[in-house]
Structure 1
Amino acid sequence: MRSSFKSDYGDIAHLLYVPIDETLLQALVQYWNPPYSCFTFGSVDLTPTIEEYSSLINCSKIDNDRIYSKSNKNKHFRRKLERLLGALPSWVEDQVAKNNQKEYLKWEGILALASASPGGQVQRDMLAFLIYGLVIFLKALGHINVSVIDLSDRSSGGINPVPLILEETFRTLKFCKRNGGRFQGCSQLLTVWFHSHMWTDAKLSRSLYDGHFSPLEEFLRKED
């Protein structure tokens, strides 16, 4: 399962082990320059790029020419969730809740279903769905936005989610800069991206973002 998961989804499972440094994130927000969508450190401007975030995810199946776009058929998310998780319509209906007229999923039930799954492709795709919903596109603690279902349903087919991840990161940084509050983009990816620019190991200087190196694995190795 591990090799097939990595083949379809890259290194996103490593995000589960990346610790969130709230102090670092709060400091980064203060240096965010919304008009130019970059961090400004004195005379130095630094911003995450599609190439860098693609390297962080490190998925060989991502097709850079097939950029993910949101589906206009979100109303059919229940059927997609049934197919994705191998669940019954009645079970799916029980997991859907509303908050301010917006529908979301209660992750406890999905986690319980994942734990009881016998394995194979359904469990693999379920794990990716949980990572997308609870780590990469976190909207609220304990909730999974229904829009993640469409992305997760299509992601194993080579669709490139990186521009959407960056868009959400920039949007959240802009909001935090102007209004304060907790950063709710993918904190783990932003943390590793920033740390990777601080690494001074000479052997990493040429290969960090060339597609043959895993920054997430390197970050976890350095943390250990």
Structure 2
Amino acid sequence: MGSNQKSTYSFKLRNPKLGLIKGLISDVKKIRRNNFCVKYGDLLTIMNTEVDAWAIFTLAQFYDPPLQCFTFQDFQFEPTLEEFSHIADIGIKDEVPNTGLGEFPTHQQIGSPIHLDKAKVKANLRPKGDTLGFTLKFLVGKASDFKSKEDWIASNDVLALILYGIVLFPNIDDFVDMTAIRIFLLKNPISTFLADVYHSIHWRNEKNGGMIQCCAPLLYKWFLSHLPSE
């Protein structure tokens, strides 16, 4: 007789380097952080979440590809839009989410929300792999410049773009790619969070392991919310 035991897969997590980003906010007063949260949700808490990778690896073992949920012995459960919205403290807009289709935004459309003129965007939008984007070093430099001038709105806007590319939708190390930029411009990320988690977990199960490439802190906080608090 064959065994019904499910194979154990070997997973990895992308572990972004956050030292430069945390340096931007290490000396920022509480009121400035609160202003950031009002506009962009609880992204700073998500960034600072210490993820137990083994908890994510264990959770991923229970993913059921045919049912597209996590199946345990006595129950099934899966993340929802409402749960992610609550954790990130970001509302769900009644708008079309990012689809990855359509034309790229113009240099003006990219630069306006982060207070850069189109010439600066054009000069610093670089190719990496098969996409365009900004290096983390460039964006941190701009956020630091705005911070030194006490232009807190501009500094926060650039910081938010950094978090979108490095923490929320990581793809390439130390690089904010065009996908993250487009999601940032739409300012309606929750449905994309959910799709990203499902896609990454489903894909890695189909491939019997590998890199889980989604917002690990968000997934981890969601998982913890279903466990006993003590």
Taking structure 1 as the reference length, what is the TM-score of the superposition?
A: 0.78
SS at 1:147 equivalent:
helix
* Maintained 8 Å contact 1:77/1:150: no
SS at 2:105 equivalent:
helix
Larger Rg: 2
Deviations 1:25-70 (A, max 9, x none): 22222111122221111232111011111110113xx254235244
Gaps of 5+ in 1: 202-224
183, 189, 198: which one pairs with 1:170? 198
SS at 2:213 equivalent:
coil
Q: CA deviation at 1:9?
A: 1.4
CA distance 1:52–1:83, change in 2 (3 Å): same
Q: Which residue of 1 aligns with 2:52?
A: 21
Structure 1 position 124 matched with structure 2 position 122: no
Structure 1 position 83 matched with structure 2 position 112: yes
| Stretches (4+) displaced over 6 A | none
**Mapping of 1:117-196 within 5 angstroms?**
117=146, 118=149, 119-155=151-187, 160-179=188-207, 180-196=209-225
Deviations 1:65-98 (A, max 9, x none): 2352447554234222321222244432343332
Q: Which residue of 2 aligns with 1:218?
A: none
Partners of 1:121 and 1:73 lie apart in 2 by 29
Which amino acid in the other structure matches residue 169 of structure 1? V
The share of aligned pairs that are identical, in percent, is 23
Which amino acid in the other structure matches residue 136 of structure 1? L
* Maintained 8 Å contact 1:77/1:149: no
SS at 1:198 equivalent:
coil
Deviations 1:157-178 (A, max 9, x none): xxx3211110011000011112
Taking structure 2 as the reference length, what is the TM-score of the superposition?
A: 0.76
Q: Which has the higher helix share?
A: 1
| Range with bigger deviation, 39-48 or 91-100 | 91-100
CA distance 1:20–1:94, change in 2 (3 Å): farther
Q: CA deviation at 1:122?
A: 1.2
SS at 1:149 equivalent:
helix
User: How well do the aligned residues superpose, as a CA RMSD in angstroms?
Assistant: 2.1
Deviations 1:115-134 (A, max 9, x none): 12133221111111111111
Partners of 1:128 and 1:35 lie apart in 2 by 36
Partners of 1:101 and 1:149 lie apart in 2 by 15
SS at 1:199 equivalent:
coil
The count of corresponding residues between Structure 1 and Structure 2 is 195
CA distance 1:174–1:46, change in 2 (3 Å): same
Partners of 1:121 and 1:74 lie apart in 2 by 28
